[in-house]
Amino acid sequence: MKPSAILSVALLSLTVLVSCNLFSDLNSTSLLSFKVTGIASQKDSVLFSGKDIKSFNDSTGEVTFNDTLTIRKIRKFHKFKCYLGSDSIFAFGYAADYMSSVVNDLVFYDNILNKRYYFADGYPNWIDNLGTNSIRLQNKQKRAAAWAKFIAEMKLEGKSNR
């Protein structure tokens, strides 16, 4: 076989491989992005995207990720925004087992002990008093339309396991 023919076959094979990888990346895109807020140097910069989410349980709020790097990145910040395309649909904070404060709005709850992660309507979730429950319910109702968009996108991407 001539060297030019071998080179042609090699280039064609490389082109096919690159094309397949590009198409697989296109098929795995997500309109969801999660951005850091409140830090001047990183204001609204993408921390992770919907592609990093492996699954989401919309009844419990549990989120699983494709790798542990995502959690490591999340733990470095406290305030986030979820975007659907270019639209900011909701904001949330970070909460973990070691926190002693009360949060009455949406949080990304990092259950460090059990290595599980949730979107929750507040932290800690065991508080049960009329005032706190009322505030959390009001905040949940305010973001209901945005939350429905998030759930719909998770289902569209095949990541909702309910």
pLDDT (tens, 9 = 90+) of the chain, 162 residues, equals: 555 544 454 444 444 333 333 333 334 588 999 999 866 555 678 899 999 999 999 999 999 999 999 999 999 999 999 999 999 999 999 999 998 999 999 999 999 999 999 999 999 988 877 878 899 999 999 999 999 999 999 999 999 986
Contact 117, 63 (CB under 8 A): yes
**Which amino acid would we find at residue 21?**
N
Give CA–CA dist 79/8, Å, rounded. 52
Give CA–CA dist 35/49, Å, rounded. 9
Give CA–CA dist 93/70, Å, rounded. 16
How crowded is the C-beta side of 4, counted as CA atoms within 13 Å? 0
Q: Which pLDDT value is given to residue 87?
A: 94
**Which amino acid would we find at residue 144?**
A
- Is 73 exposed, middle or buried (CB count within 10 Å of its CB: 0-12, 13-18, 19+)? middle
Question: Which residue's entry shows tokens 């990145």?
Answer: 73
Q: Which pLDDT value is given to residue 2?
A: 59
3-class SS at 42? helix
Q: Which pLDDT value is given to residue 39?
A: 63
**Where in the chain are the domains?**
1-29, 31-156
Q: Which pLDDT value is given to residue 43?
A: 60
Q: Which of these, 29, 134, 139, 48, lies nearest to 91 by C-alpha position?
A: 139
Written as six digits, the tokens of 78 are 């406290």
92-98, long-range: CB within 8 Å, 24+ apart, which pairs? Answer: 92/119, 95/120, 95/123, 95/124
Backbone angles phi, psi at 135, to 5 degrees: -65, -45
Q: Which pLDDT value is given to residue 3?
A: 55
Q: Which pLDDT value is given to residue 32?
A: 96
Q: Which pLDDT value is given to residue 65?
A: 97
Written as six digits, the tokens of 66 are 């494709």
